[in-house]
A and B are shown apart, each in its own frame.
Chain A
Amino acid sequence: MSLDIPRVCGVQRENNIPEGVLVPGSQPYQVTSCFDESTQNSLKSTLIEVRGVSKSFRIQQASFCVFEGLNLAIEEGSFVSIVGPSGCGKSTLLKVIAGLQRPTSGSVFFKGEPVTKPPANMIYLFQQYPKSVFPWRTVWQNVLFGIEDKKDLDRGEIQERGRKYLALVGLQGNETLYPSQLSGGMQQRLAIARALACEPEVVLMDEPFSAVDALTRMKLQQLLLEIWDRVNITVIFVTHDVEEAALLSRRVIALTRTPAIIDKDLRIDLPYPRNHLTTREDPRFGSYRRELLQSIFQAESM
């Protein structure tokens, strides 16, 4: 088996070997895809592995290939964004990882196990949050949705979790309201709290902030940064907004137009904790943004 670009990256990170160094018996590292390993603080194991995944849809008689032979290794505790031109299959890829859609070929491994149905420790957050939070449940009932039947939790623990994660997203005091009484930003925070209440290992977010106004989006991005800082989770984040990707994530994967392949696998080497003011002023932020935009513009113009 030949080592493909992102896999090399994963291997390299695990071994903590600087860019461009050759390891005996292995292939040369491909410079375009790799990180500067010197700031990598700890050795993290691979949590999710996408191996040779292809997805095509049949539209009438024709078969339409969304992406083909994608390989990706995502390590525990990371924050990875997937960007790309519209319609490049970012969301489809996320759904395949979540086990909500089956790949046409290849497979996704979560902690070494092939994903055949949605794993309980992996929560998918939908872009269309007004449809995703349950209108017939109050805020409190919504936040308990994923944990209310858990056998290993007693009533007190369930309530405690509900309180904790509502407070984390700043929704305490709104328990008895129905989603229709909440603003868009509050509904999305509720969806986040409901996901976190399950204490998942992975949260998959599909353009979660694309439907709110600009100010709310900035607040939610800040909230997500704080949550990721405080809660031990791996986040895979799909967005069409390269600035959002650069601001939030540790690693950004840029896809090409369909049939999509990985165009860039970029490490965002900006210090945490990040915020809208200082992070955006960092000159490196500008260059990441530029590099990602170039990738997308290039893909769009093809």
Chain B
Amino acid sequence: MREKWPGITLISILLAGWEVLVRSGMIDTPSLPPVSLIFIAWYQAVISGELIGHLLPSLQRIAIGYSLAIAVAVPLGLLMGSIKLVYSLFEPLTELIRPIPSAAYVPMAILFFGIGNEMKVFVIFLACIWPILLNTYGAVRGIDPVLVETGRTFGYSHAKVLRKVVFPSILPEIFTGMRVSLGIALIVVVVAEMIAGNNGIGYFILDRQRFFRVAAMIAGIFTLGIVGYALNWVFLRFEGYVLRWRQTSGS
């Protein structure tokens, strides 16, 4: 905790500076209300249940789209990494779809799925697949042959070696991909909700901007900061638990 204090102090100074600059009239624009008003608007949005009502659908979309992406990308990555034919079959396709910014296929997804949950889940799913897939098959292809041969010498089949040796050994790389994807999921859900729909944190921010409720809009942006931080915190806890064998070295 001690090492966090300088950072917390800096954030407090920046917020206080913001307050002073706006209140003193040095920055005088309706686009930037003082921090105190933002916190009041934030408080009201929380108390009224409005903010939670928009946040929960967003989190739900992330949970479904992200889980689906993991469920598809990890097995496919394991297969692509270990079977040459699967790799040469999917690799060009992967390389073509991957660079497309996920916002670009929102209009297409609307045509297929409408503007509801399905569209957003699909877009999150599609955007989250790539970092996990790439990390998974990259790690399998780069695995130390000694590990695989150790599994083989115990008489295990290729499939069993994949499950008992390859998969656990590349879990750190899978987690790296999953962490990147989690950040992407948050970006994509906000973008998709801003383009179409009538709820979600992205919609909340855009809607407040349209009606010029600037303080509430910025409160929504702050909320995303907190949510992103919390998701990453939970993720790191989970990763640390699953990969606890990595933290024991040197003792």
Contacts and interface: CB of A to CB of B under 8 A. Distances in A.
Interface of A: 95, 98, 100, 117-124, 126, 128, 131-132, 134-138, 145-146, 149, 177-178, 180-181, 198
5 contacts: A98-B153, A126-B146, A132-B146, A134-B168, A135-B169
Contacts of A126: 146, 149-150
A132 B146 CA distance: 6
B230 interface: no
A136 B245 contact: yes
Interface residues of B, number: 22
B144 interface: yes
B251 A132 contact: no
Interface string B226-251: 00000000000000000101101111
Contacts of A120: 154-155
Contact of B149 (A119, A124, A137): A124
B94 to A, nearest CB: 27
B248 A178 contact: yes
Interface in B120-136: none
Interface of B: 144, 146-147, 149-150, 152-155, 160, 164-165, 168-169, 171, 243, 245-246, 248-251
B169 A134 contact: yes
A254 B146 CA distance: 26
Contacts of A117: 152
Contacts of A131: 144, 146-147
B153 A128 contact: no
Contacts of A95: 149
B155 A135 contact: no
A-side interface mostly:
loop
A-B residue pairs, 5 tightest by C-beta: A120-B155, A180-B249, A124-B153, A146-B154, A131-B146
Given A131-B147, A134-B168, A123 B248 contact: no
Given A118-B153, A134-B169, A128 B245 contact: no
A191 B251 CA distance: 20
A180 B250 contact: yes
Contacts of B246: 135, 180
Given A124-B150, A126-B146, 15 more contacts: A100-B149, A123-B153, A132-B147, A134-B147, A134-B169, A135-B245, A135-B246, A136-B169, A145-B154, A146-B154, A146-B155, A178-B248, A180-B248, A180-B250, A181-B248
A181 B164 CA distance: 22
Nearest to A117: B152
A128 B147 CA distance: 10
A128 B168 CA distance: 19
A224 B251 CA distance: 28
Nearest to B160: A149
A181 B154 contact: no
A121 B248 CA distance: 33
Chain A CB count within 10 A is highest, among B152, B245, B248, B249, for B245
Contacts of A177: 248
A136 B168 contact: yes
Nearest to A177: B248
A180 B245 contact: yes
Contact of A128 (B146, B154, B155, B171): B146
Contacts of A145: 154, 164
A261 to B, nearest CB: 26
Contacts of A100: 149, 152-153
A120 B151 CA distance: 11
B197 to A, nearest CB: 42
Contacts of B155: 118-121, 146
A146 to B, nearest CB: 4
A235 to B, nearest CB: 15
Contacts of A98: 153
